[in-house]
Amino acid sequence: MLKPLLILVALILPTTVTAQQTIVVVGDSLSAAYGMAQKEGWVNLLAERLKAEQRPYRVINTSISGETSHGALARFRGIIREHRPEIVIIAIGANDGLRGLSLDAMKKNIAAMIEAAQASQAEVLLAGMQLPPNYGRRFSQRFAASFQQLADEYNIALLPFLLKGMEKDLSLFQPDRLHPLSSAQPIILNNIWRILLPLLEESQ
């Protein structure tokens, strides 16, 4: 008699086990922990925060230093097939801008990634960038506006500037003045977290 009662209790009690979901980050050196240990980068800090808050997510970082939108797109569908993420953070485009590549081509590449993610039922967070002032006002404005335009077109979450709050403080950057130091990674994490949190709440 005891065994049937135990089975009945197990069926009645709510389960505390939640299936783990996946967040994939697709980016460049700004997300690849360039110039520091991987554990110090904002992507690893994100994984640690999710664990500390007992949120059932694993974080897969597919970022590659030097990556352009073209290179990211070439890998993107394979990444989606392999990891089947619930959320995709796209933080790409900085190298397109820094190299003066076609902004129309960049937008098409990122758009194709967004479409592939949405076709797999994943939520998308797009992290935008800004260029140094020496790239000229017109090109820099078009570059920054590209991310807002994509977010509006595809109705996705947008962080307009990944490095928000850091742009005027050179002490947060490595000697090249392009890549943030490890001490700046918590700032990037907080920027991402503010936009990511609603997506986490929606998926629970």
**Across the strands, what pairs with 60?**
24
The distance of Cα 64 from the centroid of its chain, to the nearest Å, equals 13
Annotated catalytic residue 176: yes
Of 201, 196, 189, the C-alpha closest to 165 is 189
Three-class SS state of 60: strand
- 3-state helix, strand, coil split of the chain in percent (to 5) is 55, 15, 35
The catalytic position among 83, 140, 179, 182 is: 179
Annotated catalytic residue 104: no
Annotated catalytic residue 83: no
The catalytic position among 29, 31, 63, 146 is: 29
- Distance CA(49)–CA(55), nearest Å, equals 9
Hey, what are 52's tokens? 């500390």
Return the active site residues. 29, 176, 179
